[in-house]
Amino acid sequence: MVDKLTPEQRRKNMQAVKNKGSEIERILQDALISKGYSFTTNDKSVFGKPDIVFHEEKIAVFCDSEYWHGWNWEVKKNEIKSNREFWIPKIERNMERDIEVNEYLESEGWIVLRFWGKDIKKNTDECILRIESKIDTCRISGAINI
């Protein structure tokens, strides 16, 4: 199948993709703020530049969009019709990088939480509960690393 957009249209679409401040990030951040939590966003000082960082508890939260991070990849990669030789390796490298970031942060004592965009949108409260559970565990156990 040929791309239905011209190269110029495709380029404009791809330039509009945000690497921070996306809808799914804002949904989760707004929900956390409404519960009184404070955190840092897109912190370059933390490996992998997590979308949400709780420094005291060493919790890194990532909001992963399904397309860019390879949700259901074995099925979804077959749906890519144009420029497959570029997009498939790019997304697979993103997936590898996610694993590398998780492993590194965990080896440094961080708790890593990753949420798919669809889960953030449809089950925001469950995502918040998972984050709160980790925060509470850190605070109760005294595992806060200041």
What pLDDT does residue 143 have?
Answer: 55
Residue-level pLDDT at 20: 64
Give the domains, in start order, of the chain with CATH numbers.
18-141 (3.40.960.10)
Rounded mean pLDDT of the chain?
A: 88
**pLDDT tens digit sequence for 49-100:** 999 999 999 999 999 999 999 999 988 888 888 888 999 999 999 999 999 9
Residue 5: the pLDDT is 58
Band the pLDDT of 23: cuts 50, 70, 90: very high
Alpha helices in the chain (DSSP H): 7-15, 23-34, 66-69, 73-76, 84-107, 117-122, 124-141
